[in-house]
Amino acid sequence: MNVFRLAGDVSHLVAIIILLLKIWRSKSCAGISGKSQVLFALVFTTRYLDLFTVFISVYNTVMKVVFLALSYATVYLIYMRFRNSYNSENDTFRVEFLLVPVIGLSFLENYAFTPLEILWTFSIFLEAVAIMPQLFMITKTGEAESITTHYLFFLGLYRALYIANWVWRYHTESFYDLIAIVSGVVQTIFFCDFFYLYFTRVLRGRGKMTLP
């Protein structure tokens, strides 16, 4: 554990809580891609199966359970509790275009051809692209509420901090995990365009982020 890793995990947690509280308080999930949230729940589910096989640390176990619980709570709020506010007509990204290549890649490129390892690899690859339905939705509607952009900012910050964590670990422990690093860099690149808009538009005090 290093400061980048801890800050990354905290950013991830903050992002998820921001989204959950936004939906809960406004009683609306307008502008939120339910598809992205289902994909994230799937990411956590397939990655954290090792909760049943190995114990790493109290921190590790608690964070995994919290991420799982919060992601399922978010999906519940979007598709059950506040489904009337869900903009399904704008959430039209074809998820199968992500799932098919990701499933294929996780069978081809993994550390061991075992069910748990393949599912872990699947979760890493899927996380890299899971935000695409949300970004697609923003592109389609041309705008995002500022609170949604804060969510995306912390989610992107989490990925950027994990890269710093890997650089740190490579230098201090000679540790590197190529699958995670490549996927993590790809995932972070998806956020670059968003980061630019976030800093140039949202932080200038406008209520919404509108695309040109």
Partner 1 sequence: MDDDFGKDEL
List of residues contacting partner 1 (CB under 8 A): 1, 5, 9, 12, 50, 54, 56-57, 60, 63-64, 67, 111-112, 117, 120, 162, 165, 175, 177, 180
Nearer to partner 1, 91 or 127 (CB): 127
In terms of CB distance, is 2 or 26 closer to partner 1?
2
Task: Pick the closer one to partner 1 by CB: 43 or 147.
Answer: 43
Give the number of other CB atoms < 10 A from CB of residue 112: 10
How many angstroms separate the CA atoms of 145 and 133, rounded?
A: 16
The rounded radius of gyration (Å) of the Cα atoms in the chain is 17
Beta carbon nearer to partner 1, 97 or 111: 111
Q: Which CA distances in Å does 98 have to 16, 47, 51, 79, 143?
A: 22, 17, 26, 21, 23
Q: Describe the crossing of helices 3-26 and 146-173 by its angle, rounded to 10 degrees.
A: 160
The DSSP code for 130 is T
Q: What is the DSSP letter of 206?
A: -
